[in-house]
Amino acid sequence: MEFEADIAEGQLCDKCQRPMVVKQGRFGTFLACSGYPECKNTSSIHAGQPQGGGEGTGVACPEEGCSGELVERKSRRGKVFYGCKRYPDCTFAIWDKPIAEKCPDCGHPYLVEKTTKKLGTHLKCPAAGCNFTRSPDEKE
């Protein structure tokens, strides 16, 4: 089958130096290596941000067996979400900003930042059945 895709100008694969191509995925447009399937390197496109990939969160992807990091991304509608850097290999994504801090109650690997009218901005454990929350400036 012929490889039909748009070459991304000036974007080379940082693994094998082949040109990157523009692809459409579930979370919008991203770049994939034209050397696929030999090279499965991908990176996300950010308007006005020539460097591939959004801002890293320092939070490791919780998906089992995945070594990716959660990075800031934008959905096609412009809403910010946090998805695995290894997308499309890994499709883990959450809406809340993850914070690299282990839940002291249940050991969940990260907390998320939430803003509500009642509590303002606070950190919360996303694990089902765990109600741990704390204010963002409480440092221990």
- Site stretch for Zn ion (CB under 5 A), options 27-35, 51-59, 73-81, 115-123: 27-35
If one asks whether residue 111 binds Zn ion (CB under 5 A), the answer comes out as no
**If 0-12 CB within 10 Å is exposed, 13-18 middle and 19+ buried, where does residue 48 land?**
exposed
Binding test (CB under 5 A) with Zn ion, winner from 25, 28, 68, 109: 68
Q: Could you say whether residue 36 binds Zn ion (CB under 5 A)?
A: no
For Zn ion, the closer CB: 48 or 109: 109
Q: Check residue 29 for interaction with Zn ion (CB under 5 A).
A: no
Three-state secondary structure of the chain: CCCCCEEEEEEECCCCCCEEEEEEECCEEEEEECCCCCCCCEEECECCECCCCCCEEEEECCCCCCCCEEEEEECCCCCEEEEECCCCCCCCEECCEEECCCCCCCCCCCEEEEEECCCEEEEECCCCCCCCEECCCCCC
User: Of 71-100, which residues contact Zn ion (CB under 5 A)?
Assistant: 84, 86, 90, 92
Alpha-carbon distance of 39 to 50, in angstroms, equals 21
Question: Binding of Zn ion at residue 123 (CB under 5 A)?
Answer: no
Please report whether residue 63 would count as binding Zn ion according to CB under 5 A: yes
Q: Using CB under 5 A, which of 32, 35, 45, 98 touches Zn ion? A: 35
Q: By the criterion CB under 5 A, which residues form the site for Zn ion?
A: 13, 15-16, 33, 35, 39, 41, 61, 63, 66, 68, 84, 86, 90, 92, 103, 105-106, 108, 125, 127, 130, 132
